[in-house]
Amino acid sequence: MVSDEQVESFRRDGFLIVEEGLVSMPAVEILRERFAAVFEGDYATGIAPDEVNWKPGRDSDDVTRQICNGWRADDLIAAQVLSEETGRIAARLGGYRGTRILQDNCLWKPPGTKSLGMHQDGSYASYLTPPEMITCWVALDETFAEGGTIEYVRGSHLWPKAPPDRGSFHAPDDWLAPLANAAPEGAEIERVPVVVKPGGCAFHHSLTFHGSGPNESAKERRALVSHLVPVGTRFHPTNTDVVYSRYRRRGDLSLDESFFPVLWDENGGRSAWLTDLPPLPD
């Protein structure tokens, strides 16, 4: 459960860090195994993820490995990404009556990999109404400030929304430049690295600036991310996304539960097919 004090902290800072315990260690170990399989192209469901931004032999070893919607390729990854508990916590923090998945990110930063640029998730959500979300970032490895962990800028969710800058996200020359460009005049910039145990997590607001520096440690840094939108979210009638608007049906702006399932709502609702997913160990 999330306390009133944690909700207040989230709304003040734009993020909430939970140092350990959201995901059990036996579940973390399973998710690490499935991470390796999916990045090798082993798709247990027979369905490819929506985006594969890194493949062995195709891409440089010094960039962060990313897959978007790995849950479509693997039911064990889906069991965590589509967790009812995660959906319930996100709804509480966002003040939503329920949540559904928009997409996941499987992120893997081996030692020596480069940064991911500072950004606001909400800058890339103009194809949705409302264009907002709550994100849950789950660590599959212990994180360190020097290990390329995610960093938040405290209070930046209260700044104006910045335009999307797709060219500075993957391995930019200056991963902090978007932050410097977007900060209001006189704003205090306080970066907070997320230092947690495996299975720990952080939730953040869609306008909170975040990114990660290079992994200068000798440790792996893997994370499983769920982007959760309000249960009543719909596609924007005119704005589109080059990848995710493919799921928009002609003449229908609703989000289909086959692709954007409901994780939790206040009346106890949850997409029925989620009961078919294999459980992860507590």
Q: How large is the average pLDDT for residues 124-147? A: 97
> Domain 4-276 classified CATH 3.10.530.10?
no
| Four-CA torsion 122, 128, 133, 139, nearest 10 degrees | -80
Residue 93 burial (CB count, 10 A)? 23
What's the pLDDT tens digit per position in 227-258?
999 999 999 999 999 999 999 999 999 999 99
Residues β-bridged to residue 65: 108
Q: Which residues pair with 217 in a beta bridge?
A: none
What is the average pLDDT score of the chain?
95
Domain boundaries, the chain: 4-276
- State pLDDT tens for residues 197-228: 999 999 999 999 999 999 999 999 999 999 99
- CB of 162 closer than 8 Å to CB of 123: yes
**pLDDT reported for residue 1:** 77
**Tens-place pLDDT, residues 11-25:** 999 999 999 889 999
> What is the per-residue pLDDT for 261?
98
- Res 259 pLDDT > 70: yes
Residue 167: pLDDT band with limits 50, 70, 90? low
What does the alpha-carbon distance between residue 157 and residue 66 come to, in Å, rounded to a whole number? Answer: 24
Tokens 């207040």 sit on residue = 8
**What is the pLDDT, as a whole number, of residue 251?**
96
Q: What is the pTM of this model?
A: 0.96
Question: Is residue 104 over pLDDT 80?
Answer: yes
